Amino acid sequence: MNKWITDNLWRHVVGVLVAFFALFPLYLVIISSVNPTGSLQVSSFIPTEFSLKNYQQLFNDPTIPYLVWMKNTLLISGAVAILSVIIGASSAFAFSRLRFKGKKFGIQLLFLVQMFPAILALSAVYVIMERVYNFAPGYGLGTQPGLLLVYLGGAMGVNIWLLKGFVDSIPIELDEAAKVDGASAMQTYWQIFIPLAAPILAVVSLLSFIGTFNEFILARLFLVDMNSRTIAVGLQGFIGGQYSQNWGAFAAGSIIASIPIVIIFLSLQKYIISGLTAGSVKG
């Protein structure tokens, strides 16, 4: 018994305390979301009433276009997730498998570029997209397609880098066998590489989905119109400064919005952690 205490008790003490710390905000959001008063005020940490009023408000109140925000977010994040991997995969393949002049320099440059926080060039991106708006109003500043282009470009460095890392771990023997059999680079890419890399591509794609979902600063700068906002910008504007009034609906909204991300995250845990050790940090 004594041995158990010295060996295991402290582990449980740490575990319970940290679990309390981790769960406290989550517990609070959940009880707020079912609290019919919808206010931020904590009258009791144990809920006395239960109601789905806040959830109903989210879907019925015309001043909160929650479903539109959700749709925008899923569309933009989905498009980034798919397109960035389509574009990134071929570059990663070339970096990992093909031989060409200046490859080393290219990889070093890519490494530097993917390190650069996109947020630092914000002013420049803003001015450039303002100019694009000047001649192509549908694709410049303030538009969803414009934001999508900026996201695609911004995610490209990290995506190619991550994909390259994963691709390097796929055995090269199959490619070489195909080459010996006389396959061209294109054939190797489509018939050998893509089927082999499919699970990895899916993972990177979901990672960019999460990344885009969590993006706030560009979305805020680009999406001014209430109905073009993403969930992040929408919910932030919704409670901005009025924590006490809209808290219940906000809590409900953030729970619903978090569910898909939590599911993706938990199901990809293994890959995300190996991506993490490769040096990327989730936003």
Partner 1 sequence: MLESLFRNLPKVLKYVFLALTISILLMFTQSAFAKKEYEIGVFLLVSIIVIAITYLTTFSIPLKFFLPGILFLTAFVIGPILYTVVMSTYQYQTGNYISKDQSIERVQMLGIAPDEANTTFDVVVGKYNNQIAVLASDSINQRYLLSTSTEKIELSPSLVTVDENGVATKVNDFTPATGDEIVQLDFEISSTRFKYEGDYFIMLEGSSVGAVARQVLDYVKSADKFINLVDGTEYVDNGRGNYANTDNLEDVLQPGWRSPIWFSHYIDLVKDESVRNPLFTVFIWTVVFAFLTVLTQFALGLLVAMAMNKPIKGRRVYRSIFILPYAIPSIMSILVWGGMFNTEFGAINALLGTEIAWFQNATFARVAVILVNLWLGFPYFYLITSGAMQAIPSELSEAAAIDGASPRQVFARITLPLLLKIVTPLLIASFAFNFNNFNLIFLLTGGGPRNELDGQIAGATDILISYTYKIAFGSNVQDLGLASAISVIIFIIIASISLFGVRKSKVLDSFS
Near partner 1 in 119-158, by CB under 8 A: 119-128, 131-132, 134-136, 139, 149-150, 152-154, 156-157
One residue of 76, 247, 252, 275 binding partner 1 per CB under 8 A: 247
280: closest CA among 168, 156, 115? Answer: 115
**Min separation Cβ 230 and partner 1, Å:** 10
Opening angle at CA 185, ends 184 and 187, nearest 5: 65
Degrees to nearest 5, angle at CA 122 with 120 and 124:
110
Instruction: Give the largest CA-CA distance in the chain.
Output: 77
275 part of the interface to partner 1, by CB under 8 A: no
CB of 264 to partner 1, least distance (A): 9
Distances (CA, A) of 217 to 192, 220, 221: 39, 5, 6
To which residue do tokens 């679990």 refer? 19
Which two tokens mark 80?
């980034």
CA distance 243 to 117: 31
CB of 63 to partner 1, least distance (A): 18
Indicate whether 227 belongs to the interface with partner 1 (CB under 8 A): no
Window 53-72: residues binding partner 1 (CB under 8 A):
none
Name the residue type at position 13. Answer: V
Only segment of 60-68, 85-93, 171-179, 199-207 that touches partner 1 (CB under 8 A): 85-93
**Binding-site member from 8, 56, 191, 227 for partner 1 (CB under 8 A):** 8
| Number of residues forming the site for partner 1 (CB under 8 A) | 98
Q: How near is the Cβ of 105 to partner 1 at its closest, in Å?
A: 10
Please state, in angstroms and rounded to a whole number, the distance separating the CA atoms of residues 248 and 183.
Answer: 60
Stretch of residues binding partner 1 (CB under 8 A), selected from 48-56, 61-69, 90-98, 175-183 = 90-98
Binding of partner 1 by 224 (CB under 8 A): no
Distance CA 101, CA 234 (A): 48
Compute the least distance from the CB of residue 53 to partner 1, in Å: 18
